[in-house]
Structure 1
Amino acid sequence: MGSEYNETRNQHFISQAEQRLNASNPTAASHKSKIYVFNIVNRDDYKVTLEGSAARSIVNNLSMFDLFSFDILDRTQLRRNFEALFHKYEISVAENTKNLLSKLNSQDGDIKNEIIALFSSKLLGFIRNPYSVQKVINTFSLLAKHSPTDPSLLADYQVILNGKRPHQIHLCKQLGITDVQYAEWLRIIFMLLSPMRQNSLNFFEETIKSLFEDKNLYAGVFVWEYDNDCCLLSDRAFSQPIESTIHLSFSFNLCATAFIDYIFADPEALVQGKAAPAFIAQASASWRRRPHAQINVTFIRNNIEMLKCYNRRVIYQSHKHVYCSKSVGILT
């Protein structure tokens, strides 16, 4: 499953590649990249304060020791974790971000691959975020009740169940979760990212595919870019632009000067109360007769009011910290 023993102890839950897109020194060598850290003082009033006087090294930022390690060999530096599985989604995030923004600015409509690949990378940030453990468990609770039928995968799964995790007590205390929650979270990550059959998509990719290919579902993407202003990065990796049980929505930081919103909704529910019922029913029927699903992409530049809304939402919904390429000039 791509979880051979390795020596990676410092494990990022928001990849260094994503953080470097928000670096205060974007032209520096990757190992020298830094980012400004802000403490949330009052989320209701959107008040933050700069932590320290200097930017923090990205190498040790938004990471924890052995966060994803599920088996550590005695008296060695070797451990098994999900680093290799995560790498698949991290490796192209910078390229996809730059390509998407470049294509949008040149009015190149060939952006479907970047839109879906970025959603995959960003959604993984939610799934592996230690401050969202209970939310991930609630979202994928059924998945944790199943186990692989393939003998090789089942053997790997048993290691997750019974592996040596001497760090677990300290880590659970640090995160405010129980041993049971931690173990269930690791099982969910395994079941999501491990292909259950050879040459097939894993459950994570199947879920994303179904969202974008359901022709009965409205898939809306809004990309917001700015010339100079700063888009915050959340320690939770995402925020929700719409508080609704009907619509599925996510906001993600793209880079220091851009963010992206994804909205998946029933088209009839989306316009409920905004038009006559007969018109809504007719329009909905027409929508569902479409031969193929569509991704509706809107690109907006330098809308300051939306940036204020985004940054405030990030501050309100983050755990304890937000991150930025600048130490001053944050719009809240």
Structure 2
Amino acid sequence: MKVLDLSIGRPAYEVEVQASLLFEAALGLAAVTYDEIRDTLERKTPEWEEILRRMKPEAQQEVEYCAKHNTWQTLLRLLHGGEFTALEAFLQHLRSMTVEQLRYQVLPALCEPREEELRRLAAAGDKGAADILIAAAAGHGFLAAYVPFILNVDGEVLKRHLLLLTESWYEAAISPRETEWAEILMREVKVKREMQGRLSREAFVEWTIGKAYQPDPGLRRVLLVPNIAYRPWTIQADLPGTRVFYYPVSEESLFGDDDPYRPPASLVLLHKALGDENRLRLLKLLDEGERTLQELTVTLDLAKSTVHHHLALLRSAGLVVSDGSTYALRPALLQQMERQLAAYFERGGQGG
């Protein structure tokens, strides 16, 4: 029987790997201003504190302003407005923007299908559009405070803040290791692009970010941005028509060799996460079923901040996931742990 296929099917989407030291700078600001995850990062607190000490007092104040209003997210959105390979090119682009252009570009897409129209109207000062965006952002984590801030802050004040923050942070955090980190990112992009041609789009994204991926309907692009600053975390974000994953560079790219005696960072993090009595208790509770932070706090008879800290470590190791209200165990990772350890010991060394 002949069939006339009139179905539309799922449209294809592109997958792109894009790296820049400017992304590295913005993600470094995200890391240094997020106290709750600082202990889970591979770069430890003394290193971040040393960077801050290298900055002038007025620049340190801009970092504090960034922490209060999450303007690292503003920088990331601006960086996606062009292909900026040099600091000065980005700063010049920012200087040339009108306040309306700036607001439009850094407002998140929240209200399909009118998202572009509402962002343009709100950026131009339309109160009705602004109210719709603010209402849509309520309940979206930090966006609930970020969207009203972008819509109400003095645009010129925001521009001056971003210019000073970006230039000062780049000088203190990126410039001292600029050559080294540029080479790491180049190695990472080269390896990923070589592998991209061998895998399907979904498989390539999953291989890169280290977790299952299912594309959303209407998605036109997946952008993969490697970073060093936020290792071992992956940050997921949305731009109009685009899903962005800021993922940790691989260890092969980071170290530039394949040292058989260097354990994978994920394996080290996994064992560190398990090396605490309260975290093991948390895992056992979550093995019985999903729990809220309040339920875990009451059951363990610990301070909420303490439980949140332990959960952050377990999430960074990939043992626990959260939908924003409840926490759940990922038993598959525990089941794979023995195989990961065996694979590490089986890697060839000098002895044999």
TM-score (norm 2): 0.23
User: Which of structures 1 and 2 has the bigger CA Rg?
Assistant: 2
Greater percentage in helix = 2
